[in-house]
Amino acid sequence: MSRLWLVIILCLASHTAFADKKVYRWKDDKGNWVYSDTPKKGATEVKINTHFLTMPATDTSVLGSGTQDQSKQQYKASIIAPNHKQTLRDNTGSVYVSGQITPRFAKDFTVQLFLDGKPTGPKQHTITFALRNVERGEHSLQLMVFDSKGNVVTKSDETIFYLHKARANQ
C-alpha cells in the first residue's frame, strides 16, 4: 500500500513539473494498480487536480550537506537530563545524562562531560553519558563541545542535580 502512495506522489510531482504530461493507470497481473506516463492496453487516463496540492514552506537548513563553514555558526550546548536542580534517587550512584547541540551536531565534533569541574571520561562523539558510583550530595554537570582541532566550540551552562541514596540507620 505504501508503494502505491509513493507512486501516486511521484506521479503528482511529475504532473506539476510537466503540466502537459498525462498519467495513466492499469492493474497488473497481480491485481496491483500501476501508474505511468506511458499508456498500456486497457489503461485509463488519471485526471489530477493540482490546485489543492500546495505545501507550506519548511526550513530545511538542518538537512544541509554539512559543508558549511562550521567556524561561522553559533553552536549551543545544553544538558536536557537531568533537569536543573533535579533530585535523583539511586542507591548505586548511577546518573544518566543527555545533552543537546544546536544546530546539528557536526560529525567531526567531540563532546566531553564534566562532573564537578572534572572530566568524566574521554571526549566522545555522542551526547549521552552514563555515570557510575556518583557520591550522594549536590553535583554540577557541564558539556563542552570541541572541533576537530580540539578547540572549544561551545559549552553548556552548569546543571546542578542532587543525588540521594538510602542510608541504613546505625
**Which tens digits make up the pLDDT trace of 22-81?**
788 888 888 888 888 888 888 888 876 655 555 555 555 555 555 555 555 788 988 988
- Flag whether pLDDT at 102 surpasses 80: yes
Pairwise CA distance, residues 141 & 136, whole Å: 14
Residue 148: per-residue pLDDT: 86
- Residue 157: half-sphere exposure toward Cβ, Cα within 13 Å: 9
Q: Which residues contact 98 (CB under 8 A, 6 or more apart)?
A: 79, 80, 81, 127, 128, 129
Pairing of strands 110-115, 128-131: unpaired
Residue 128: per-residue pLDDT: 87
Least confident of 6-20, 26-40, 123-137: 6-20
> How many residues make up the chain in this entry?
170
